[in-house]
């Protein structure tokens, strides 16, 4: 995993934590899932979309998606949104981590700043 830089955590580290250790709905982890979804959409033109659950759903892998949770949909079959895969944030984090989506160029952000409690973009030339 990438090395920690002061109060920053890389997208790779936050993505790992989102599925392996902590609640992926927490802002300090969910931003990494959202960021990596945007990265794969940018590169592969994949039609993932983020949705906030209004009712209880079940993830394609059997996880519970509770009202208020953010999750991801992918159209299947005829391509309509009524016929789609539903993937919870934790499973999406796992998929993205093992696809190494964190190695794709940043869409918006590269790190989470624990002091500011927000994602930031750190370029290689910005590092000390």
The whole-number pLDDT of residue 76 equals 80
Instruction: With CA atoms as reference, report the closest residue to 109 among 33, 45, 24.
Output: 33
The whole-number pLDDT of residue 128 equals 44
The whole-number pLDDT of residue 58 equals 95
Averaged over successive runs of 10 residues, the pLDDT of the chain (128 residues) comes to: 70 96 96 96 88 95 96 78 84 97 96 95 66
The CB-side HSE value for 94 (13 A sphere, CA atoms) comes to: 11
Q: How far apart are CA 127 and CA 70, in angstroms?
A: 32
The whole-number pLDDT of residue 97 equals 97
* pTM across the whole model: 0.86
The CB-side HSE value for 56 (13 A sphere, CA atoms) comes to: 3
Q: How far apart are CA 1 and CA 106, in angstroms?
A: 17
């Amino acid at each position: 995993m990438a090395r920690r830089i002061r109060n920053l955590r890389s997208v790779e580290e936050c993505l790992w934590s989102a599925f392996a250790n902590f609640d992926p709905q927490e802002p300090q982890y969910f931003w990494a899932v959202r960021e990596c979804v945007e990265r794969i959409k940018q590169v592969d033109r994949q039609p993932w979309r983020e949705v906030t659950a209004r009712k209880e759903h079940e993830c394609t892998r059997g996880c519970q998606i509770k009202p208020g949770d953010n999750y991801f949909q992918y159209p299947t079959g005829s391509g309509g949104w009524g016929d789609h895969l539903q993937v919870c944030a934790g499973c999406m984090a796992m998929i993205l981590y093992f696809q190494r989506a964190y190695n794709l160029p940043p869409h918006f952000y590269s790190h989470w700043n624990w002091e500011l409690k927000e994602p930031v973009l750190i370029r290689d030339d910005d590092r000390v």
